[in-house]
Chains A and B, each alone.
Chain A
Amino acid sequence: MLYVYCIVNREGWPPEELVELKGVEGLEVYSGSIGHYGYLYSEIDKAGFTEDQIEELSQDIEWLTKNAAVHEQVIEFAQGSADVIPLRLFTIFLTEASICDMIKRENEKFAQIFSDIQGRREWGLKLFINTDHIAIHAKKHPDFIAMEKKMEESTSGATFFIKKRMEKQLEALKEKMSFDIADEIHQAVLEVAAAGKLNKLLSKQTTGSDKPMILNAVYLVDKGSEKEFKEKIDELIKKFVPSGVEFRFSGPWPNYNFCQL
C-alpha cells in the first residue's frame, strides 16, 4: 500500500536527495510521476494499516504528533524545489495505478490550484489580546464615561443596576475594540498578500493561552513579496503590541489553506 504525502508540479522534479528523507514510521520516501505531476509516497505494510488500525493510530497522540511532523517535513522538502499540493494525513492508495487514476481524474482541478499558488507560500498570523489592557482603553470610551457620570449622580437604590449595566457595557466595548484592532491588522496585511483567509477562532482551552484569540488568519504571499510582507508584520507589531496585542506569526508553510479541491 502507498502512503502519499503530496502532489508536485514536475518542473525540476524529482530532486536527487530524496534518499536522505525518511517518511512516516521511518520508511523510505519515493517519487513517482504521471503527466505534468509528480507525487511523493512511502510503501506501507498493508497489515499495519487496516482501517481499524489507522483509526487507533489517529487516537494515539504520540504517534500522531511524531508522524504529523514527518508528513509535514516531507512536504516542506518537496516545496523546496517545486510548487506543492499538500495532502491530508493518512491519504492511502492500494497501488501506483490508483494514484495515477486519481491524478488523471483531478487533473483540471490540480492545474487550477497550481496556477493559483505558483511561486507563493503560506504564512499564518494568530492574534491574542490582553483583556486587562483593552479594558483600560475601553474605560476611556465616551459611552463608558457617560455611564460612570450617571452612576455618580444616581441614588443608592439604582447603583446596583447601573453597575451591572456598566459591566455589560464594558465587556461589549472591550470586544468591539478588540475586533476593530484585529480587522485593522488583517486589512493591512492583505495589502501585501496575494490572498488571505480567516479561520475560526480557537478557544483558550485549545490554544492554551490565557488571552482570548481575536484573529486566526492565513495569507498566501508571493516569494518575491516576502520581505515586504515581513516588514509589514514588524511594523504592525511595533504599532499594536503596546495596545496589548500578542502576535503569533508562522511560516513559510506549504499552501495547506489555499489548495482546496
Chain B
Amino acid sequence: MESTREKQEVTLLEVLNRVINKGVVVSGDLVISIANVDLIYVGLRLVLASVESLGEGYWR
C-alpha cells in the first residue's frame, strides 16, 4: 500500500504538470513561462514535508 505522503506527492505532481505544462496558453498581457518543470518535480519532493494544509478532499 502507498502511504498518504506518497499519494499526495503523486497528486501534487499531477496538478503541477497540468497547471504549468498543460493549461491553455492565451496571449495575455504578461507572458510567463516556467522553463524546467522536471527540476520543479525533483525539488518538490524535498519541500513536500513543509507544505501542509493543501485542503482535504482535494487529493485523489
Residues of A within 8 A of B (CB): 1, 4, 7, 49, 51, 54-55, 58, 61-62, 64-66, 68-69, 71-73, 85-94, 98, 102, 106, 124, 202-203, 205-208, 248, 250-251, 253-254, 256-257, 259-261
- Against A, the Cβ 8 Å flags (1 = close, 0 = not) of B2-31 are 000010011111111011101111111110
Q: Which residues on A sit within 8 Å (CB–CB) of B20?
A: 68, 88-89
Given the contacts A65-B44, A206-B38, A88 and B55 also touching, CB distance less than 8 Å: no
Q: Are B55 and A69 neighbours in the complex by a CB distance under 8 Å?
A: yes
Given the contacts A91-B28, A259-B24, A250 and B50 also touching, CB distance less than 8 Å: no
Q: Are B32 and A51 neighbours in the complex by a CB distance under 8 Å?
A: yes
Q: Are A85 and B24 neighbours in the complex by a CB distance under 8 Å?
A: yes
Q: Are A72 and B32 neighbours in the complex by a CB distance under 8 Å?
A: no
Q: Are A55 and B60 neighbours in the complex by a CB distance under 8 Å?
A: no
Q: Are A66 and B11 neighbours in the complex by a CB distance under 8 Å?
A: no
Q: Are A124 and B38 neighbours in the complex by a CB distance under 8 Å?
A: no
* Complex alpha-carbon distance, A259 and B23, angstroms: 8
* Complex alpha-carbon distance, A218 and B16, angstroms: 15
Interface of A is mostly: mixed
Q: Are B54 and A66 neighbours in the complex by a CB distance under 8 Å?
A: yes
Q: Are B34 and A89 neighbours in the complex by a CB distance under 8 Å?
A: yes
Given the contacts A88-B24, A88-B25, A90-B32, A65 and B51 also touching, CB distance less than 8 Å: yes
* Nearest CB on A from B54, distance (A): 5
Q: Are A93 and B12 neighbours in the complex by a CB distance under 8 Å?
A: no
Q: Are B19 and A250 neighbours in the complex by a CB distance under 8 Å?
A: no
Given the contacts A61-B44, A64-B16, A66-B54, A54 and B30 also touching, CB distance less than 8 Å: yes
* Complex alpha-carbon distance, A254 and B60, angstroms: 13
Q: Which one of A1, A55, A207 lies within 8 Å of B32 (CB-CB)?
A: A55
* Complex alpha-carbon distance, A208 and B41, angstroms: 9
Q: Are A87 and B22 neighbours in the complex by a CB distance under 8 Å?
A: no
Q: Which residues, 25 to 60 on B, are CB-close (under 8 Å) to A?
A: 25-30, 32, 34, 38, 40-48, 50-51, 54-55, 58, 60
**Nearest chain A residue, comparing its CB with the CB of B9:** A208
* Complex alpha-carbon distance, A64 and B13, angstroms: 11
Q: Which residues on A sit within 8 Å (CB–CB) of B58?
A: 69, 73
Q: Which one of B10, B40, B54 lies within 8 Å of A61 (CB-CB)?
A: B40
Q: Are B42 and A205 neighbours in the complex by a CB distance under 8 Å?
A: yes
Q: Are B26 and A102 neighbours in the complex by a CB distance under 8 Å?
A: yes
Q: Which one of B19, B32, B46 lies within 8 Å of A71 (CB-CB)?
A: B19
**Nearest chain B residue, comparing its CB with the CB of A206:** B41
* Complex alpha-carbon distance, A94 and B13, angstroms: 30
Q: Are A208 and B45 neighbours in the complex by a CB distance under 8 Å?
A: yes
Given A65-B12, A93-B28, A206-B13, 12 other A-B contacts at CB below 8 A? Answer: A4-B28, A65-B16, A68-B16, A71-B19, A72-B18, A89-B20, A91-B23, A102-B28, A124-B14, A208-B6, A250-B60, A256-B22
